[in-house]
Amino acid sequence: MKSVATYAGSLLLAEKAALRTQTLSKGHGSDGCLLEKADTQVAHHSAARKGQTSRVYKWLQRRLPVLGWALNYNARTDLASDFIGGTALGLICLAQTLAHAYIATTHDAQGPYTAFMPPIIYALLGTSPHASVSSGAIASILIADQLRAWPIKEDRTQLASLMALVSGLSLMLMGSCNLAFAVRFLSQPTLSGFTSGGAVLIMSGQLKNLLGIRRFPHTDGLADTVREVYKHIDKVNPIAVAFGLAMMALLEIFIRLKTYSKNKLKEHAVNKRLYHGLKRLSEMKEIFVVMCGVLFGYLTTTGSTSGDADRTLIPLVGNIPSGLPPFRLPWDIPAVAGIAQDPSKIKHFVVGGVLVGLTSFLTTYATAKKVALQRGYQLDASQEMFALGAAGTVGSFFGAFSPSGSLSRTGLSAECGVKTQLAGLFTAGVIGLGITCLTPALGYLPKVAIASIIMKASYNLLDLDTPKSLAKFWKPKPEGGLKRDFVTWCTAFVCTLTLGVVWGIGLAVLFSVGMIVYDATVPQAVMLGHMDMEVQTRGRKWRDVDAWPDARTFRGILIFEFRGPLFFASAEFFQEELERYRVKAEARDDHPLSIVVISLESVHYLDSTAIQILEDVLTEWQKHGISCIISGAQNQVRLLIEEKLVRIRKGAGLPALLDQSVFMITVGDAVEHARQRFAARQGHKTGWARMESW
């Protein structure tokens, strides 16, 4: 930074000298004036250059957050915390990523590969010091779903890296264009239904390993998996089943130990160090399961770990490639030829890759945002999207599949006291040492041990509380119901189980977006009435007469409120509702309607189609002696109405369509004005529609 400043200063001095020389050479005016003019020009140039340099540096700081934390890194206070936290996360990732590779139905080594290069890239580009980016269960579900058409594991492994490239590039593009808001279309019921359906698919896919069945064929979908398990039920290994249940029991013990320790810490127990240690120990439950599995596999195996039935008591993971992941172009694989020949496969693969990226970002950002709110710092959503995309893109060249964040690891990172993104580099270092030195030992790991980890984690993903709570609100929307959310959850869950993960998410999102479009085209339109003083103290004085039967209305006056956007898609509905309530008001009063008050308080946008329909309606009303007063119009709506319906018509010599001189009025003011107009027309005081006094 000092050399850059020195270079910039020398440029400014040279420029100042050049301007002085140029000005003096002209020979006009006094030397003092010329020098003053030169100094002024140099000052302007200097300010402009400094402003440009500042903008460039701010842009670099946003796109390269490492410039912020690395240049200000305090090794004395932060290094120990980052090292301890990063090392602990690395050990946990080493166990979890093996399980995630099994979920993704790819080679075992691809899980640890995803925890090597992606964390390094995210540490340089990410804005969260606590986000743990490696493999994730939800991303693995999507990857397995997209690759289920390929029966050969080698093809699935290679295509998973290619899909990481597709999803990574899509996230980088959207992050660069600030399109992080796209994930908002994935609602909580959609994600809950999808993850619950995915959890069932994961558990069904691990039945073969939990039962110790050897040479199980590749299956496509839930029904196919259950059918094949039934066919191979005679090949169940009782020892594998017993060991798997024992490992699941061990995981449950650790989970309960963590809950017990947290409760004791909340109760301010005397021996806090003990409970902190027990809590930290329970968070590394996967490591203990892997250690027990490796020990059991080593003691019960004769010869190599090839998985032969006569040499291993239960099926083992087998040989895992040792060493760091090699560099390889993700598209330089034989399976690409099969995709390239079929345009439909290309489309399906690309769409699946984008969906994997969006879902991975949503889970990563949601977990990181939760910790950021707890710790009091800000996240840049677009930069987070770009960083995760870059991590996946670079990782695809080193054999990784699409990376994702983890709620448990991110929370553990914060609890371990991680201070900066340097912890991610330590995590990658532990993974590198693990896949270099520990792969021979991991070859003795029983598949049932990994299956027990996956089954327990998948059970925690199964969210049945959400549909139960939504079912309690099975009633119409105007009555405070949540029928749509329940239908969205069921759509995502059922379609995920029957059609696959992509269809499950896609149809649920399509249903949600369809409901948004429906609400925009058919918003709520109501007739308002006045509430008495006793009820007014508890809320608005103007209420929907259908929901509040005691609301009072005026004879000859309709008070209409439109609660939604008024544009080309809803303009026709606006016209229909106006006419429906006009007929209803005339039938109520047994008297022709005289004045209509239209409240536009909830309308924040008006387009050309809507204003034209409004003008046509008012023109037709004018022919029948019905006048109109508009209240609550704000900003663009008010300005457009004043220009289109008042000034332009007045300039053209056309009669006025609105019976008012000002537009920034409330519903109450508009009704009072309408009552005076109606009384003047009738020649006597206006009355209540129910013949009651005001």
Letter for the amino acid at 505? I
- Contact indicator for 525, 581 with CB cutoff of 8 Å: yes
**What's the pLDDT tens digit per position in 354-398?**
989 988 898 888 888 888 887 888 888 899 999 999 999 999 999
| pLDDT at site 279 | 84
Whether the per-residue pLDDT at 526 is higher than 60: the answer is yes
| Phi, psi angle pair for 133, to nearest 5° | -100, 115
pTM assigned to the model: 0.72
Distance CA 120, CA 117 (A): 5
Tell me the per-residue pLDDT of 626-636, one tens digit each, with 9 for 90 and over: 999 999 898 89
Q: Which two tokens stand for residue 307?
A: 């998985």
pLDDT for 221-274, tens place per residue? 788 888 888 888 988 999 999 999 999 999 999 989 988 888 888 887 677 888
Distance (Å, rounded) from C-alpha 387 to C-alpha 368? 13
Enclosing H/E stretch for 195:
helix 188-205
Residue 9: predicted pLDDT: 44
- Give the three-class secondary structure for 526: strand
Percentage of residues in the chain with pLDDT exceeding 90? 30
Q: What is the pLDDT of residue 573?
A: 94
Confidence of residue 49 (pLDDT cuts 50, 70, 90): low
Under the banding of pLDDT at 50, 70 and 90, the label for residue 687 is very low
pLDDT at 10: 45
The torsion defined by the Cα of 296, 298, 300 and 303, in degrees rounded to 10, comes to 160
User: Got the DSSP string for 302-338?
Assistant: -S-SS--TTTBSS-B------SSPPP--TT-STHHHH
Residues whose CB falls within 8 Å of the CB of residue 132, separated by 6 or more in sequence, listed in order: 89, 93, 119, 405, 406, 409, 410, 412, 413, 424, 427
Q: What is the overall mean pLDDT for the chain?
A: 83
pLDDT of residue 596: 93
Q: Which tokens hold the place of 327?
A: 């560099």
Which residue would you say has higher pLDDT here, 308 or 5? 308
**For 408-445, what is each residue's pLDDT tens digit?**
788 878 877 888 999 999 999 999 999 999 888 888 98
Look at residue 172 in the predicted model and tell me its pLDDT.
Answer: 94
Could you give the percent of the chain with pLDDT greater than 70?
A: 88
pLDDT reading at 30 higher than 60:
no
pLDDT at position 28 over 60: no
pLDDT score of 349 more than 80: yes
DSSP summary character for residue 562: E
pLDDT tens sequence across 569-600: 999 999 999 999 999 998 888 888 899 999 99
pLDDT of residue 18: 44
Contacts of 494 (CB under 8 A, 6+ apart): 197, 504
* Confidence at 47, pLDDT banded by 50, 70, 90: low
Beta strands at 524-530 and 542-544: parallel, antiparallel or unpaired: antiparallel
Pick the closest to residue 364 from 413, 399, 330 (CA basis).
413
Q: Which residues have C-beta within 8 Å of that of residue 8, sequence separation ≥ 6?
A: 49, 53
Q: What values do phi and psi take at 469, rounded to 5? A: -70, -35
Region 108-122: mean pLDDT is: 94
* pLDDT tier for residue 689 given thresholds of 50, 70 and 90: very low
Indicate whether 33 pLDDT > 60: no
Q: Give per-residue pLDDT as tens, 195-230.
A: 888 888 888 888 888 998 888 887 777 888 888 888
At residue 573's C-alpha, the angle toward residues 572 and 579, to 5°, is 95
Strand order through the sheet with 595-599:
542-544, 524-530, 557-563, 595-599, 627-631
The answer to whether residues 405 and 367 touch, using CB atoms and an 8 Å cutoff, is yes
Alpha-carbon gap, residue 260 to 240, rounded angstroms:
30
CB distance 678 to 608 below 8 Å: no
Q: Give dist(CA 390, CA 530) in Å, integer.
A: 59
Distance between CA atoms of residues 511 and 194, nearest Å: 14
88 burial level (CB within 10 Å; 0-12, 13-18, 19+): buried
pLDDT, average across residues 307-332: 82
pLDDT tens for 469-489 read: 998 888 877 677 888 889 989
Is the pLDDT score of 495 beyond 80? Answer: yes
Tell me the pLDDT band of 650, cut-offs 50, 70 and 90. confident
| pLDDT value of residue 371 | 84
Q: Which amino acid is at 449?
A: A
| 153-167 tens-digit pLDDT | 899 999 999 999 999
Residue 511 has pLDDT above 50, yes or no: yes
Name the band, by pLDDT with cuts 50, 70 and 90, for residue 519. confident
What pLDDT is attached to residue 456? 86
Per-residue pLDDT tens digits for 333-343 = 888 887 888 88
CATH homologous superfamily, domain 523-682:
STAS domain (3.30.750.24)
Measured distance CA(362)–CA(125) in Å, rounded: 17
Domain segments of the chain: what residues? 2-63, 71-461, 465-519, 523-682
What's residue 433's pLDDT? 93
The average pLDDT across 599-617 equals 92
pLDDT of residue 11: 37
pLDDT tops 60 at residue 450: yes
Q: How many residues does the chain have?
A: 694
User: What is the pLDDT, as a whole number, of residue 12?
Assistant: 40
Per-residue model confidence (pLDDT) at position 14 = 43
CA angle 666, 672, 678 (to 5 degrees): 135
Indicate whether 19 pLDDT > 70: no
